[in-house]
Amino acid sequence: MLKRAGLNSYPIHSLRHTYVVNLLEAGADIKYIQKQLGHGSQQITSDVYAHLSKKMNKKNTEQVNERLNDVFKGISK
């Protein structure tokens, strides 16, 4: 199918990995991802897939900064 579509061939694991990275970037819960993959524990899922992408790192940094700004606004009043 990939040849007919003019796409490079990749191992099937690449599709699984891409799916999980997209779930993580979309904010899916690690427990949900664990169940999707059929892993026996969240730890396995985290160990294998929970490395941060640039997009996730940026999103998390922004969320922490927003929260800290809210906290400091409350203190300065």
DSSP letters spanning 7-70: -----HHHHHHHHHHHHHHTT--HHHHHHHHT-S-HHHHHHHH-PPPHHHHHHHHHHHHHHHHH
pTM above 0.85, yes or no: no
- The pair of structure tokens assigned to 27 is 């904010």
Distance CA 77, CA 74 (A): 6
- Over residues 51-64, the mean pLDDT reads 80
Greater pLDDT, 53 or 11:
11
The pLDDT value given to residue 77 = 60
The yes-or-no verdict on residue 37 having pLDDT over 90 is: yes
Rounded to the nearest 5°, which phi and psi values hold at 41? -150, 160
pLDDT averaged over the chain? Answer: 85
